[in-house]
Amino acid sequence: MTIDELTISVLKVLGAAMAAFVCVMLMTPLATRLMHTYKLWKVQSGKTALAGGNAHIFNAMHDETRTPRVGGILVWGSVLCVLALFWGLDKFTDHSLLEKFNFLSRSQTWLLAFTLAAASLLGLADDILQIGTSRTQAFKGGIDLVTRLVAVSLIALVGALWFYYKLDWRTVYLPGVGVLFLGVWYIPFFILTMLATFSGSVIDGIDGLAGGVLASAFAAYAGIAFFQNQIDVAAFAAAIVGALLAFLWFNIPPAQFWMGETGIIGLTTTLTVIAFFTDSVLILPIIAFPLVLASASDIIQIIARRFFGTKVFRVAPIQHHFEAIGWPSYKVTMRFWVISIACAIIGMALALVGR
């Protein structure tokens, strides 16, 4: 890569991030007004599925009413808008520089855009049904877990087949060891990885927590993709980072709105696809360690209660356990942010070793 090419690549990635940041900042006033106009929040606060059976502890610490829960629309909506904007500037103008900022490409970002849109719409449907549940009791808590798992599996299947047949991927890279050949097992491995990352969506639930954790993870993968010269993937990841940073501007306690399922499902699934594109999927548990921690705490709690009749945590996932033992929510959030940044740096370094 020449100096001129490097400069353009840097500007492309930073431009995508900045454009998404500005887009969220501009969209938020109108979006917030619409969220309040249509009362996109639960009328009755309550969770019944927290691992450990102590939903009453969570409900005592968090009031889910009067705060819109579909704020994730701002994140994925802005990313897709920026993607479309830069594509349009390329296709409908003759300026050679604008052409270089287009990061919509068949080989790198078609699948990312599909995953983000499809999974986010699934989450939006779940959010709307949960809001409706609190008002009419016509539905029971939104889309049930089995249906969500099936839907995410279908999205993952599309991604797995794209990688296997369109991109001819058969291997994964393990730092310090080398390339591991999976063959046709690449397809179920892709699906299981997306489901595992999706399970980390339980990290949501405290103002600013999920946004900060995911921003660190996407920033790490933006860096990995950039050093691998996958500039379109890097720009896509950077756009998500920019959108998340703007989202955090309004989500720092007290949050003006919450990410909701429409944000968390779309982002966790998209993170999986980016991990595969950078061939750094085996580093994903390190880069996204807080997601692993939250998911694992849920699993541990369920196993402990079902087989041993006891609890490991006062409330699971673990971020609510810390709240339950007396940590202020802002302290939980900021400490998770610190862990996320450290893990992102470590994971990014490991992913680039030996390349």
Instruction: Render pLDDT for 287-302 as a digit per residue (tens, 0 to 9).
Output: 999 999 999 999 999 9
- Report the distance separating Cα 190 and Cα 276, nearest Å: 8
- In sequence order, the β-bridge partners of residue 174 are 178
Cis preceding linkage at 317, omega within 30: yes
Long-range CB contacts (within 8 A, 24+) of 96-99 = none
Residues 6+ apart with CB under 8 A from 166: none
For 165, the token pair is 């047949």
Overall number of domains in the chain: 1
Are 169 and 260 in contact by the 8 Å Cβ rule? The answer is no
* 10-residue stretch averages of pLDDT, the chain, 355 residues long: 82 97 96 91 63 56 74 97 95 83 94 98 93 64 89 98 96 91 97 96 90 97 96 98 97 88 96 97 96 94 91 90 92 96 96 76
What's the per-residue H, E or C state across 119-134? HHHHHHHHHHHHHHHH
- In sequence order, the β-bridge partners of residue 181 are 171
Are 30 and 251 in contact by the 8 Å Cβ rule? The answer is no
pTM of the model: 0.94
Quote the DSSP letter at residue 200: G
Q: Which residue has the tokens 């927590």?
A: 209
- Report the distance separating Cα 280 and Cα 273, nearest Å: 10
**Which pLDDT score, from 0 to 100, does residue 191 have?**
98
For 173, the token pair is 């890279």
**Which pLDDT score, from 0 to 100, does residue 142 have?**
79
Q: Compute the residue count for the chain.
A: 355
- Report the distance separating Cα 36 and Cα 127, nearest Å: 15
Instruction: Render pLDDT for 94-129 as a digit per residue (tens, 0 to 9).
Output: 877 788 899 999 999 999 999 999 999 999 999 998
Structural domain range at position 213: 3-352
Quote the DSSP letter at residue 42: B
N- to C-terminal Cα separation, the chain: 16
Our measurement of the distance from residue 243's CA atom to the centroid of its chain's CA atoms, rounded to an integer in Å, reads 12
